[in-house]
């Protein structure tokens, strides 16, 4: 993890430092490895400790780092998750990204009772099915 020139970047220093640190995490550190202390990192990158703390906080919010008092800052394991939105979303039952609906019960529509029509508050009619 080398030094970087932060004086000439168009974005905020902490944001650029976050990007540099993120690349260093990918290349120079293993999961669970402890980073150097804040004083050493700030000196290495030529920034104030407050700037470094902002960058580290962003990386912690992204789940890249874990910061614990008495232990230090460690590289967090990768998060495992499923994307909740995107262009690959489709209708239920449609095969999307290799996922396929295997089994589902389909309920038949029924005509509503008087009590259901009352709860609906005039929305719908007695001859319209309720799903």
The set of residues, in sequence order, having a beta carbon less than 8 Å from that of 21 and lying 6+ positions away, is: 1, 55, 56, 59
For residue 95, how many C-alpha atoms fall within 13 Å in the half-sphere facing its CB?
Answer: 3
Residues of the chain with pLDDT > 90: what percent?
37
pLDDT in tens, 58-74: 999 999 999 998 889 99
3-state secondary structure 33-44: CECCCHHHHHHH
The domain segmentation of the chain, as residue ranges, is 13-75
> Average pLDDT for residues 27-55, to the nearest whole number?
93
What CATH number does the domain located at 13-75 have? Answer: 1.10.10.10
- Helix ranges, the chain (H): 13-28, 38-45, 49-61, 114-120
Q: Over 90: is that where the pLDDT of 103 sits?
A: no
Whole-prediction pTM value? 0.55
Task: Count Cβ neighbours within 10 Å for each residue of 79-112 and write b for 16 or more, e otherwise.
Answer: eeeeeeeeeeeeeeeeeeeeeeeeeeeeeeeeeb
CA torsion through residues 95, 99, 104, 109, sign: negative
User: Is the predicted pLDDT of residue 85 greater than 50, yes or no?
Assistant: yes
Instruction: Please tell me the distance from the alpha carbon of residue 94 to that of residue 40, in angstroms, as a whole number.
Output: 53
Q: In whole angstroms, give the CA distance from residue 44 to residue 52.
A: 11
pLDDT computed for residue 87 by the predictor: 53
Greater model confidence, 53 or 111: 53
Q: What pLDDT band is residue 96 in, cutting at 50, 70 and 90?
A: low
Q: What pLDDT was estimated at residue 34?
A: 94
When pLDDT is cut at 50, 70 and 90, the band that residue 49 belongs to is: very high
The whole-number pLDDT of residue 121 equals: 73
């Amino acid at each position: 993890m080398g030094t970087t020139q932060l004086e000439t970047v168009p974005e905020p220093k902490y944001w650029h430092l976050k990007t540099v640190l993120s690349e260093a995490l990918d290349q120079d550190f293993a999961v669970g490895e402890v980073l150097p202390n804040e004083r050493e990192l700030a000196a290495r990158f030529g920034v104030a400790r407050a700037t470094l703390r902002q960058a580290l906080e962003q990386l912690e919010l992204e789940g890249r780092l874990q910061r614990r008092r008495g232990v230090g800052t460690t590289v967090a394991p990768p998060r495992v998750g499923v994307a909740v939105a995107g262009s690959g979303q489709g209708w239920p039952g449609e095969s999307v990204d290799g996922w396929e609906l295997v089994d589902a019960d389909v309920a038949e529509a029924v005509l509503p009772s008087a009590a259901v029509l009352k709860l609906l508050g005039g929305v719908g009619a007695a001859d319209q099915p309720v799903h």
